[in-house]
Amino acid sequence: MSFLRRPHGRLRSMLRAALAVASLAAAPVASVAGQGTGPPATQPAVPAPTGGSTGDPGPSRTGDPSSPSVPPSTGAPWRIVDPPQSTLVYANDGSLIGEIGRELRTSVPIASLPTYVPAAFVAVEDHRFYQHNGVDVVGVLGAIKDRVIGRRARGASTITQQLVGNMHPDVVDRRDMSLDRKLREQNAAREMERHYSKAQILEAYLNQIPFGHGWFGVDAAARHYFGKSAGELSLAEAATLAALPRSAPYYDPIRHPDRARKRRDLVVRLMADQELITPDAAAEARRQPLVTVAPSTATASYFVDAVRSAATREGVPVDAGGYRVYATLDPSLQEAAVTALAEGAAAVESRPGYAHPTLASHAKGGPDYLQGLVVAMDPMTGNVRALVGGRNYADSPFDRALYALRQPGSAFKPVVYAAAIADSIPANAIVSDTALAIPLDNGSLYRPDDADGQFLGPMTVREALARSRNTVAVQLAMRVGIDSVIDLGHRLGLTTPIAPYPSSAIGASGVRPIEMVAAYGAFATLGTVAPPQFVVRIEDRGGHTVWTAHPAMPATALDSNVAFIVRDMMRDVIERGTATAVRRSLPIQIPAAGKTGTTNDNTDVWFIGFTPDLVAGVWLGFDQPQMIMPGVAGGSLAAPIWAKLAAAADRGREFADWVPPVTLESADLDRATGTAADSTTPPERRYTEYFLPGTLPPALRFEPRSVFEKGPVGAY
């Protein structure tokens, strides 16, 4: 063979590699940890087809975009180190809703896996795994031969070598194709085999390698691709995952199902050829359709981020991984919130005359389309049952529910009305909806008005809230003092500054949406406010509880009598006021109350409301404030979304009507006049009004002795 006498540079490198590998052939396979588990060393090896390590001629191993960046020193390259783990986040029903960590991984013992799971990887990646000492000499020589004769070279890296490179990228960078790197990797692999059993190496490999999308290890891959743990994988699913080490992007079963299925079937055939499964099992696996699931965190990404922030504030380093967080999320309600917001916002975008980019058609690179948020809480405990911080987490992970600062508009008015009721202004008091000119400190005049441009004249306080008249709210705030309104807002849990100006009475001061929603909890609970709560408890990897929520006693922000009266007034908002759209989705049997909100130029639209066991809020608007479109309001855009959410939360449940505190006084009134109803009052105008103790007007009091003072009936 004359070419051996004058080898050119490429062949010299190949021969050097061959000689280096050959020098390793005599090394013993024994390890100090024992021979490990798996097929006996005498099991006949099955020749592997060419292309890749074993299999079809797919893409070369050029790395996976989900692979981690090179970390700080991981130690000696032969050592098996504990890889970063995910922190797992569970909903209130125990279902997994998300993961937190630099690498999404949950290590599992190999003994917990069906035998065909590790067997699938051995069959396609390293079928002589149980015969070699970390370096497959036969495979290396075969790869060199392929290069010499010009054939596409088969892969020669063993599972042990792959583990070395994936676990210690700071020492052995597998993107480096030099001979020096390969020799260092081989030396480390042989050393690893001397210190660990085959079972330990295979377990570490299955828990270490990337599977695309930022998912590491076979258990995370099983959850995200198939919606189950690795211990529940079928043979066909295990073979699908075994296809991915070759190239996770190329054989991605979500994006490229045809490629993935072809590679899966190859893995199954190799397993049968190597007598790791029966021919019948192989045939059945190949008949199975390839079915993946949507990423499990798709609907709860904003909530998982909130959990991360809450845990970090409590000093639990969940980003480091390895924790189990048990959270407050209600998965079915979360799904309802996501669906209601998606459908409601899309309905706005489809309205005639809508002139902004839509979610479906916007230019990539920024969330310049209509945004929205939904927050739903248990008013008694503050447990957040659903949270949607935007319409598309991938476009914009900014959580508008927690961090946006938006004007609440008329959604702030219940705070004003509560301050007024507490100041002994009864709900039947007459206030005129009229033009105002209020001097400000800067010498200008503040002239509040309404979107309809009208002033409706005298009306009751109750009617003014139901019809959301701005001038009445401003007058009430000035009568009780804007400082009193601000103080009540802060007692209700609003932490953002509320400007001491008349315009704050109609929601001109920005608020955090989740705080505004939580504030409404005081009306649902008759006076107490529970701060938002995301986490119930946190456990470490050993199952030990490291943090438990110990909710403080809810703070009393309102007198229970005041809270009930304002709640009853807000029922009118839904039944006959600006939010009648709610009843198109929410059955009349479910008691509900709330308030719409619309800011100047229709920039922000809100609805915040509650049922006996739920307080929730919906907002729509643009990140850069601008008019949504002419003629819209919170009642027409946000209220229908809220109604669908509330209906889903309480579907099939029965509720007793809200019962007034026994200390309240009441009287039947005429809705049009605010005076006592009599026999001439039409039924649709007759209603029960409630008064704080001692504030029932004398004219409305029933005095039994007055009947006798007027003499016997029919005396004349």
The residue type of 317 is P
Mean pLDDT, the chain, rounded, equals 87
Annotated catalytic, 539?
no
Measured on CA atoms in the order 101, 103, 105, 107, is the torsion positive or negative?
A: negative
Question: Which among 572, 565, 622, 629 has a CA at the least distance from the CA of 595?
Answer: 572
At position 193, the amino acid (one-letter code) is E
pLDDT > 90 fraction of the chain, expressed in percent and rounded: 73
Please indicate whether residue 69 is annotated as part of the active site.
no
Would the pLDDT of 20 be above 60? no
Between strands 457-460 and 430-433, the pairing is antiparallel
Q: How many CB atoms lie within 10 A of CB 366?
A: 12
pTM: 0.82
Q: Which of 31, 107, 157, 410 is catalytic?
A: 410
Tell me the C-alpha distance between 31 and 611, whole Å: 66
Do residues 211 and 221 lie in contact, with contact meaning Cβ atoms separated by under 8 Å?
yes
* For residue 144, pLDDT beyond 90: no
Q: Which of 31, 53, 86, 125 is catalytic?
A: 125
Q: How far apart are the first and last CA of the chain?
A: 142
Q: Which residue has the tokens 């105008």?
A: 685
Radius of gyration of the chain measured on its C-alpha atoms:
35
- Classify residue 381 by burial, with Cβ atoms within 10 Å: 0-12, 13-18, 19+: middle
Residue 551 banded pLDDT, cuts 50, 70, 90: confident
Rounded CA-CA distance 649/643 in Å is: 10
Q: What are the backbone dihedrals phi and psi of residue 698, each rounded to the nearest 5 degrees, phi first?
A: -55, -35
Query: What are the residues facing 615 on neighbouring strands?
Result: 377, 610
Burial class (CB in 10 A: 0-12, 13-18, 19+), 147: middle
pLDDT band at residue 28 using 50, 70 and 90 as cut-offs: very low
Helices 279-287 and 235-242, axial angle in degrees (round to 10): 80
pLDDT band at 409 (very low <50, low <70, confident <90, very high): very high
325-374 tens-digit pLDDT: 999 999 999 999 999 999 999 999 999 999 999 998 888 777 899 999 99
